[in-house]
Amino acid sequence: MIAAVARRTAMSLVTLLLLAVFIFVATEILPGDALDVSLTADELAMIKPERLAEMKQALGLDRPALERLGSFLAGVVQFDFGRTIISKARVVDIIGYPIRNSLLLAGVVMALALPLAALLGTLAAVFYRRSVDAVVSTGAIIGYSIPEFVIGTVLVMLFAVLWPIFPATITAATNDPAAILLASAPLPVATILIGSIAYLARILRVGMIEALASAAVERLRLTGIPEWRIVLVHALPAAIIPSLSAVALYAASLVSGIVVVELVFAYPGLGQELVRAVSRREVHVIQAIALLSAAVVVGLNLVADLAILALDPRTRGS
């Protein structure tokens, strides 16, 4: 058990290291730099090449790539992503509240989606090939197939234009308390929640169908145990274990994949900050956001692997 945990943890750390190198290389090939973007075309035309080279040297833009990679990796270990190139603001200060806001949005969605998806997936499996299963399965396919920006637009038209119940865009500031931010974000939550429930319910439905059709469950039925107890106590845990990895990856993808929803509703999260950083060629901000998003994915996947190891002894030798 200890060896399996150590092996998976080491693999996660190596994965993070490779991702950090990849993110650095990917940001290196972006056209232009922060100095080019901060200057107008007229200013660039008027500046002599020697003066432009001096300005880039002062900002550290002329340093060799390997030297900058070493500085980047050393900063990552210390959770220090440096400062922005032009304003010299600390990157951690810039992305602190957007990270909190995106994690808050993803956390609320998962807290609502998991129990609702478990309920729908279980009902669909219990009433397999009946009307309840058909309704849940059809709704899940539709909810998962429609892009989130379409769902968001429809919700805005219905509940912000036709029936002005909720605000169409977020009215809270980036550094507002969590309660105020969530109070103004029912439509973004609902937009992501629809697709999340659809995806997770489909996964759990498949696992529940297999669990209810297993020989172990058939033997339990022969002993006279009530069906509700078989479903909740025996089949549901057996169905959840193989679904943990998919659920963890989906939960992680919410943090890095809600960019579109954040932009549609002007939600002050990582999505807006990433778009702003790309437009300004603030490489350090882009690297920090990309690496933190990757770390969430790797971390949650590791947690799911460790949970499976704890719950299913058969996997401890792999």
pLDDT in tens, 83-99: 777 677 888 888 889 88
- Write phi, then psi, for 79 (nearest 5 degrees): 55, 40
Task: Record the tokens describing residue 149, joined without a space.
Answer: 């920006």
Helix (H, G, I), strand (E, B) or coil at 87: coil
pLDDT tens-place string over residues 37-61: 555 555 556 676 666 666 666 666 6
Residue pair 91/277 in contact (Cβ under 8 Å)? The answer is no
Superfamily of domain 91-315: MetI-like (1.10.3720.10)
Domain boundaries, the chain: 91-315
Q: What kind and span of H or E run contains 76? A: helix 65-77
Can you tell me the mean pLDDT for 29-34? 60
| pLDDT class of 182 with cuts at 50, 70, 90 | confident
Percentage of the chain modeled with pLDDT above 90: 11
Tell me the C-alpha to C-alpha distance, in Å, between residue 110 and each of 16, 189, 193, 197. Answer: 24, 10, 8, 9
Tell me the C-alpha to C-alpha distance, in Å, between residue 167 and each of 6, 170, 246, 261, 270. Answer: 48, 7, 33, 14, 21
Give the pTM: 0.78
| pLDDT class of 230 with cuts at 50, 70, 90 | confident
Whether residue 116 is predicted with pLDDT greater than 90 in this model: the reply is yes
pLDDT tens-place string over residues 265-284: 888 888 888 888 877 777 78
> How many CB atoms are located within 10 Å of the residue 281 CB?
20
Mutual orientation of helices 270-280 and 283-311 as an angle, nearest 10°? 140
Mean pLDDT (the chain) is 81
Amino acid at 91: V
pLDDT of residue 112: 92
Residue pair 174/209 in contact (Cβ under 8 Å)? The answer is no
DSSP state of 84: -
pLDDT tens-place string over residues 123-147: 999 998 899 999 999 998 898 888 8
Can you tell me the mean pLDDT for 163-168? 86
Can you tell me the mean pLDDT for 157-183? 86
Residue pair 241/312 in contact (Cβ under 8 Å)? The answer is yes
pLDDT of residue 86: 67
pLDDT of residue 119: 92
pLDDT of residue 43: 59
Helix (H, G, I), strand (E, B) or coil at 61: coil
Q: Euclidean distance between the first and final Cα of the chain, in Å?
A: 10
- Higher pLDDT pick, 248 / 111: 111
pLDDT of residue 23: 86
Task: Record the tokens describing residue 198, joined without a space.
Answer: 């659809």
Query: At which residue do the structure tokens 């719950």 appear?
Result: 311
Whether residue 9 is predicted with pLDDT greater than 80 in this model: the reply is yes
pLDDT of residue 59: 62
